[in-house]
Amino acid sequence: MPEEEELVELKFRLYDGSDIGPFRYSPASTVAMLKERIVADWPKAKDSFSQALSEY
């Protein structure tokens, strides 16, 4: 039986106390892949903060 790849789990706590995630990623994932997923799932009510995040 092939060995399963261990995944990394990420969860983000926003400034208002709400959470995004947890998300499970392969250790081979790139920062760009992680950013795309986080921005896509970012709460729409916090668009000004997500725009600031996308500038990085």
Q: How far apart are CA 38 and CA 21, in angstroms?
A: 8
Tokens of 8: 């990394």
Which range of residues forms the domain containing residue 25? 8-54
Specify the pLDDT at position 12. 86
Domain count, the chain: 1
- DSSP letter, residue 17: S
Q: How far apart are CA 23 and CA 53, in angstroms?
A: 18
- The answer to the question of residue 17 being in a domain is yes
Q: Would you place residue 52 in the very low, low, confident or very high pLDDT band (cuts 50, 70, 90)?
A: low
Indicate which CATH number applies to the domain containing 17: 3.10.20.90
- The answer to the question of residue 42 being in a domain is yes
- The answer to the question of residue 3 being in a domain is no
- The answer to whether the CB of 7 falls within 8 A of the CB of 24 is yes
- The answer to the question of residue 20 being in a domain is yes
Model pLDDT for residues 10-50, shown as the tens digit of each residue: 888 888 888 888 889 999 999 999 888 888 887 765 555 55
| Angle formed by the axes of helices 31-41 and 47-54, nearest 10° | 170
| The model's pTM | 0.52
